[in-house]
Structure 1
Amino acid sequence: MGTTTGRRVGRPRAVQRPESGLPAREELLAAAAELFTSRGYAATSTRAVAERAGMRQATMYHYFDGKEDLLAALLESTVTPSLVLARGLLADGRSLPAEARLWQLCRSDVELLCGGPHNLGSLYLLPETRAERFAGFSRMRGELKEAYGRLLAATESGGLLDGGELALRNDLVFGLIEGVILIHRSDPDRPVPAFASATADAALRVAGVREEDLPAVREAAGPLRRPAPGPARP
């Protein structure tokens, strides 16, 4: 028989995050983002999230009802800034051609999905996101996809497409943008700004923009817009 040390053997505690100065709710989201993307959603407990954030599990429940709440908030954070930008671009129809506005949205969306410390876009692939709790995220994502479609339809090439072809092109463009989460996961060290611009170029090619017109589109699009995150839709 082995000797006892008087210490209880059990599951190792999560390592606390370094002091960040974030409010408690944001600290919990940062901890959840780190653990969900590194350990996996199913393998992460609410206790582990609370400990990683440096607080007791009971305290966490003052801010979130559980893991689904944390996941929903993280998912919505990957859509809200792009949705705010898309609404602005749709309302700003006179200052920039539609091609440049679509390029801006594509580039910004890729930077949002790939530019953070954790690959939150990978959470889209979780089967849990099909649950009713994530209906708000699904609505937001649907509105964003519709905004892509409206910008695409306003382009010169989009205006020549019938409804079925336009819907297909929009599916392909939107799928390309969200597909960057897999590419980014396979090569996380790829410079995000260059990756985002190249992906925006590819999306506009799918939309029907001619190769020789892309330099003018990029120039018209100008610097990257970074809207402040707006409130999530109910």
Structure 2
Amino acid sequence: MASMAGQLLGFFLGLLGFAGTIVTTLLPHWRSTAYMGSNIMTATAYMKGLWMECAWHSTGIYQCELYRSLLALPPDLQAARALMVLSCISSVLASLVAVMGMKCTHFAQRSVVKSPLVLSGGVGFLCAGLLCLVTVSWTTNDVIMDFYDPFLLSGMKYEIGLAVYLGYASSFLSVTGGLVLCWSSRERSQGRLRAQTHQPSAPPPPFNNLNPPAPLYRPPEALKDNHASSLCSLSSSGYRLNNYV
């Protein structure tokens, strides 16, 4: 029961991390900045994401524009796109494999492949969390380096957006879920090994090869005519001479 509870906990943590990774990938709030004019009514917030760039005005107008050209994007943004997509794909594959290997499912019930499937799902969630963590850490480093660059104009400096913090939380959930799944699969393998070790040994053979069994009992009637015939015995016309001597 403890192993099943650990598998369920790790699976739901991985699912939460997967949902957070998808939201992080789609949100445009990776980099944000605020512009305050002479009047507070002219405040405008600019946001940049992996797929679009948005502007929010204090008057309630929200405008977004998708990036039109993939080749015109900077290399770091292209790499961030690829890593986040790989993270989402890894989470999907890990979820499918973990579901097939969990004890509460009927797939390959009482089979030795259950534990390796759970372990593979845990490794998949670990890879997804690490990919997301690398992407948001890379973005955080770029934003900080640009913010403290004295040669960069103040209007081109951005701050860390909400999606980056959500990415950190999602990567933490995915990594934690993967670790719990790996731990539960290891505990189940050790339990199976202990059960095989404590199995009773086979009973000894009924007979010892050094002492062969005694011959079967045969009645005297079966042994009556088995003696060898005498050399002096003669037969003539179907009669035996020893019957009359």
Common topology (TM > 0.5): no
Identify, as 1 or 2, the structure richer in strand: 2
Structure 1 length normalisation: TM-score? 0.27
Structure 2 length normalisation: TM-score? 0.27
Bigger Rg over Cα: 2
Identify, as 1 or 2, the structure richer in helix: 1
